[in-house]
A = this chain, B = another copy of it.
Amino acid sequence: MARIIVDVMPKPEILDPQGKAVHGALPRLGFESVSDVRQGKRFELQVALADESTLAEVHQIAETLLSNPVIEDFTVRVEA
């Protein structure tokens, strides 16, 4: 078995209200060292074998089901 990680983040130019909300709360809780926060989604996909055809399929899954290509970017990687 292998695990493929798909990380989906808002595009840099897109407003990230969730990230802004977290960032806004930090000073009230006494946290001072974080200058920016962005929030996205993480998917762990279990596959039998992380070969080329499976990775190609996961790319398609990420593009069509896990992310909105208009406002989000995604990365695909195999986790050891």
Mark A residues whose CB is within 8 Å of B.
1, 7-9, 19, 22, 25-26, 29, 31-48, 53-54, 57-58, 60-61, 64-66
Contact = CB atoms under 8 A, between A and B. Distances in A.
A45 to B, nearest CB: 5
B35 A47 contact: yes
B31 A57 contact: yes
A38 B33 CA distance: 31
Contact of A45 (B1, B32, B37, B65): B37
B33 A47 contact: yes
Contacts of A8: 42
Contacts of A42: 7-9, 39-42
